[in-house]
């Protein structure tokens, strides 16, 4: 299949491609969550949910593999270094009790993926202790076992966990495409810069395209 993408068309085989949705969690997207306690406007992230939901359903209908990630730490914080927990001088830190349970702790209510994008049976769910989806998760091995060579990325935030995961994937040999309307940042200028970085110099990290271009490619087959 071919997607009209930038900087040039992106080609993929559905059987060898996975849709990876990064950290679409309540604590980042819903009012009252960790993201909002940091002073961010979560409405910016909420705005991508309809397009992401449509993309997810279209990918499921086509029979494509789906991967969901959650930024999540162990209850004892043994996998959360102080350099991460203390960064930014927040009023609430990772592991503290917030409006949706302990912040970014596996199993807590706020750590769950939002209902509109909740995983279904057969989809891969990865709990990651870092910003990148490949660090300390075994995701690469799981994808290799399934013969995956191409990855479509959506999720939040564009310049942090999404871009980090794409760069990790690129280093491991995957051809990656960022779904422009299925990713967002609390800082619109950061998203714009990240998108430009990703597709610069002949797709040095990956391609970018609106989700509609991918859905059109699926519909044409």
For residue 23, pLDDT over 80 is answered with yes
Q: Is the pTM of this model over 0.85?
A: yes
Two tokens at 160? 């942090």
Q: What is the pLDDT of residue 90?
A: 73
Helices and strands (H and E) in the chain: how many: 9, 10
For residue 34, pLDDT over 80 is answered with yes
- Supply the residues annotated as catalytic: 23, 128, 161
**Mean pLDDT across 12-34:** 97
Burial class, 87, CB count within 10 angstroms (exposed 0-12 / middle 13-18 / buried 19+): exposed
Q: What is the pLDDT of residue 221?
A: 81
Q: What is the pLDDT of residue 91?
A: 81
* pLDDT digit string, tens, across residues 112-170: 999 999 999 999 999 999 999 999 999 999 999 999 999 999 999 999 999 999 999 99
53 three-class SS: helix
For residue 88, pLDDT over 80 is answered with no
* pLDDT digit string, tens, across residues 177-196: 999 999 999 999 999 999 99
Q: What is the pLDDT of residue 29?
A: 98
Burial class, 16, CB count within 10 angstroms (exposed 0-12 / middle 13-18 / buried 19+): middle
Beta bridge partners of 115: none
Position 35 confidence tier, pLDDT thresholds 50, 70, 90: very high
Q: Give residues with Cβ within 8 angstroms of 203, minimum separation 6.
A: 7, 8
For residue 89, pLDDT over 80 is answered with no
Q: What is the pLDDT of residue 78?
A: 97
């Amino acid at each position: 299949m071919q997607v009209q993408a930038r900087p040039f068309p992106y080609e993929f085989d559905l059987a060898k491609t996975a849709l990876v949705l990064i950290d679409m969690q309540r604590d980042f997207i819903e009012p009252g969550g960790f993201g909002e306690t940091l002073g961010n406007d979560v409405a910016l992230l909420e705005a991508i949910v309809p397009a992401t939901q449509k993309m997810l359903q279209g990918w499921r209908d086509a029979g494509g593999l789906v991967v969901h990630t959650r930024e999540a730490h162990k209850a004892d914080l043994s996998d959360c270094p102080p350099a991460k927990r203390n960064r930014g001088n927040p009023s609430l830190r990772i592991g503290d009790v917030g409006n949706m349970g302990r912040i970014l702790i596996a199993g807590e209510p706020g750590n769950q993926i939002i209902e509109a994008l909740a995983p279904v049976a057969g989809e891969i769910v990865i709990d990651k202790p870092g910003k990148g989806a490949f660090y300390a998760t075994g995701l690469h091995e799981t994808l290799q076992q399934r013969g995956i060579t191409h990855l479509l990325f959506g999720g939040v935030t564009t310049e942090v966990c999404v871009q980090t995961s794409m760069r990790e994937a690129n280093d491991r040999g995957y051809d990656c495409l960022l779904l422009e309307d299925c990713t967002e940042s609390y800082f619109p200028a950061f998203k714009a810069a990240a998108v430009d970085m990703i597709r610069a110099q002949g797709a040095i990290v990956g391609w970018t395209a609106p989700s509609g271009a991918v859905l059109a490619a699926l519909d044409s087959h």
